[in-house]
A and B are shown apart, each in its own frame.
Chain A
Amino acid sequence: MTRVMRIVVADDESHIRHVVSMKLTNAGYSVMTAMDGEEALELCLAEEPDMLITDYQMPFLTGAEVAKRVHAHDALKTLPVLMLTARGADIEAQEMSEAGIADVLSKPFSPREVLNKVQGLLRGAPSAAATGETA
C-alpha cells in the first residue's frame, strides 16, 4: 500500500459509526464519518474517498440514493460501496445493482466481516455481491 486508503462511513447510529471507524482505523485506514444521507453525499463529493460504507435507512437520503448520486460524478464513477442494512432481505436486488452497490452486509454484522469485505473490495478482488453470500 503506497498511500493510506480513505473510507467514508455513513450511519445515523453513532455506535455503528464508532465501531466501524475504530475497526478500520486500527487496520490502517483513514476514516471519515457522516450522520445522514446528505452529509454522506457532500463528504464523498468533497473528499473523493476510496470507498463508501453506508447504512441503507438514513435521514434525508437512503444509502442506495447516496451511492447512485455519487456514481453520477465522473471522478467517483467506480467508487466501491459497501451497504450495511438492518432491513434484511427487504431491499430489492435490482435497486442494489442500479445504485452500483458492490456488496451488502446485514445487521447485526461482525466488524471482522466488514474489514474482510473492505480489504477484498479495495484490492480490486471480484466482490461476493453476485452471490450475496458473506464469508
Chain B
Amino acid sequence: MTIAKRLGLASVALISLGASAAYYATIMAMRGYQTQARRLDYLVLALVAALASLLLVLFWRSVHQTVKSISQQLDRMVKEHQYGLVMIEEGHELAQITGPLNRFLTLVRGDINHLQEESRELQIQSRIADAEKKNAEAIIISITDAVVVTNRFDELILANQGAEDLLGFKLEHSLRKNIDHIMQDGTLVRLIRETRSGGRSFTRKVVEHTIDQKAQPKIFNVTLSCVMTAQGEVAGVVAVLHDVTREKEIAQMKTDFVSNVSHELRTPLSSIKAYVEMLVDGEAQDEKTRREFYDTIASEAERLSRLIDNILNISRIESGVVRVVREPVNLTEVVKHVLDVLAPQAKAKNIRLADRLVPVTHQVEADKDMIYQAVLNLASNALKYTPDGGTVSVSTDIDERRGLAVFEVTDTGVGISPADLPHIFDKFYRVQSHTKMAKGTGLGLTLVKHIIETVHGGKLAVTSEAGRGSTFSFELPVL
C-alpha cells in the first residue's frame, strides 16, 4: 500500500506541475508576450504533463489492484489454512516481492507438511501404545487370580476385580495411594515392601499366605515379582494371589483317603492273620472253635474283597473310567431280585419285608448291574440298621407327570441324627453310635450316590429321624 500511496502522491505532484505550466502559458498568451512558437511549447509541455499524469494514474491503479489481489489471496490462505502460492500477472512489477514470498510460502508449506506427517505418526504411535496399555490392563483385569501392581513408592497403580474383592478396596478410590492405607492385610503389605526393597537380589518369589474371605480362611500362593526399568532400577512390584485352598483340600482328601483305605484294609487283614496264627499255634482247642475260626477267616477274606471292589468301583466312577453298559432296565424286576436275595437275612432277624411294586411296564435306561448294586446296598442297609422284629418297606413307583421311576426303602430302624445326616455319603463315614449294630465299610452309600447321581444323572434323597427310622429314595428318568 505504501508504494501505491507514494506513486499516487507522485502523480498528484506531476498533475499539479502540468496544470501550473498550462496556466502560466495561458496567462502569458493573454498578455501578448508570447510568440506562437513559445505558446506551442507550453501546450506541448502541458500535454506531456497531462499524459504523464494519466500514465501514472494507470500505473497506480494497476499496482493498487495487484496489491489488493495479493492481500485477498493471503487473506484467503489465512482463512482456509491453505498455504498456496500468490498468483499475479506474469512480469508484473510486484513479482519482485511475490517471487521471494512464494519461495518462502513453499518452504513454510514443506515444513508444515513435514510436521503434520510427524504429528500423524506420533498420534498413531500413541494410539497403539494406548491400545497396548488397555490390552495389558484388560488381561490383568480378566485374570481370576487377584493381581496388585504397585510403583516404587509402594503406591497402588493397578489392581483387578479379584484383588478388590479379596483385599476389600475399590481401585478408583485407591489409585496412587500407599498400600499401607489401602490394605488391611499387614502381611501382604510387608511382602510387597520387602520385594520392592530387595528388588535387586531376586526377581520372583512365591509365598504361601492365608487370608480370611467371607469369614473362611483361604490359602493363597502369592507370587511376588519385581518390575525393573531398563536401567536396572526397581519400578514397582506385581503381586499375584492364586487361591490354592481347593488344591490343598484335595491333597488332604487324598491323604485321608489313603489313610482310611489302609485302615479299612488292615482291619479284616488283622483278623485273618491272627486267626491263621492261632490255628497254626493250636490255640483253637476243639473242633467247634476251629470251625468258627475257618468261618471267620472266610468271612473276613470276603469282606476284604468286597472292600477292594467298592474302593475300585468308587474310584473308577470318580475318575470317569468306569464302563457303563446302558440298556433298558425294569426297576421293579431288579428290586424283586434284590428282595429274593435279602429274604433269608430278613427272616433271620424276624424283619417283615413289605413291598409295593408297580407292574412291569416302565423301563429306565441304566446299567443293570450298577442299579442292582444300588438297590442292594440301600435295602441291606435298611435290614442292617433295623432291630429284630422291625419292618422294611420297599416300593417302586412311576411319576407320570415328571417322567420318573422312583425307588424307595423305608425302615423302622435306628435312624440318623441331624448331625450325621449330611455326612452319610462321605467315603468311610460311619455313624459312630451304629458301628456296634452292623459291620460296614463306610463305602456303601458313597457308591450308591455315585451310581445314581454321577453315572445315571438321577437323584438320591434321604430323610431320617433318630430312633424312628430312615427313608432312602432315588429317581431315574423313564424311557
Contact = CB atoms under 8 A, between A and B. Distances in A.
A110 B283 contact: no
A60 B432 contact: yes
Nearest to B266: A86
Nearest to A113: B277
B435 interface: yes
Nearest to B269: A108
Contacts of B271: 13, 15-16, 19
B277 A111 contact: yes
Nearest to A56: B263
Interface in A19-68: 19-20, 22-23, 26, 35-36, 57, 59-60
Nearest to A20: B274
A73 interface: no
Contact of B273 (A22, A35, A108): A108
Contact of B259 (A13, A90, A107): A90
Given A26-B285, A108-B266, A108-B273, 6 more contacts: A12-B436, A23-B278, A59-B436, A86-B267, A88-B263, A107-B269
Given A86-B263, A88-B262, A107-B266, A19 B275 contact: yes
Contact of A22 (B262, B278, B432): B278
A114 to B, nearest CB: 9
B35 interface: no
B433 interface: yes
A77 interface: no
Residue from B262, B270, B285 with most neighbouring chain A CB atoms (10 Å):
B270
Interface string B255-295: 00001001100110111111101100101110000000000
A87 interface: yes
B435 A111 contact: no
Given A12-B436, A19-B275, A90-B259, A107 B283 contact: no
A112 interface: yes
B432 A26 contact: no
Contact of A108 (B274, B284, B432): B274
A112 B279 CA distance: 12
Given A15-B271, A57-B263, A107-B266, A112 B277 contact: yes
B252 to A, nearest CB: 13
A90 B432 CA distance: 21
B300 A15 contact: yes
A36 B434 CA distance: 11
Contact of A16 (B270, B433, B436): B270
Nearest to B303: A15
B263 A111 contact: no
A59 B433 contact: yes
Interface string B296-327: 10001000000000000000000000000000
Nearest to A12: B435
Contacts of B435: 12, 36, 59
Given A23-B283, A86-B267, A87-B259, A111 B278 contact: yes
8 contacts: A13-B270, A19-B278, A22-B278, A22-B283, A36-B435, A107-B270, A108-B272, A108-B274
A110 B275 contact: no
Nearest to B432: A59
A86 B260 CA distance: 10
A118 B298 CA distance: 29
B270 A108 contact: yes
A36 B433 CA distance: 10
Contacts of A60: 432
A86 B259 contact: no
Contacts of A36: 435-436
Nearest to A60: B432
Contacts of A20: 274
Contacts of B263: 57, 86-88
Given A22-B283, A59-B436, A86 B278 contact: no
Contacts of A107: 266-267, 269-270
A19 B289 CA distance: 11
A112 B300 CA distance: 20
Interface in B326-370: none
A47 B267 CA distance: 28
Nearest to B297: A15
Contacts of B278: 19, 22-23, 111
Nearest to B262: A88
A63 B272 CA distance: 22
Contacts of B296: 15, 18
A111 B433 contact: no
Contacts of B300: 15
A12 B284 CA distance: 22
B268 to A, nearest CB: 8
A11 B281 CA distance: 23
Nearest to A90: B259
B110 to A, nearest CB: 87
Residue from A19, A57, A59 with most neighbouring chain B CB atoms (10 Å):
A19
A120 B275 CA distance: 23
Contacts of B273: 108-110
B436 A110 contact: no
Nearest to B260: A87
A15 B275 contact: yes
B283 A26 contact: yes
Nearest to A114: B274
A17 B436 CA distance: 13
Contacts of B436: 12, 35-36, 59
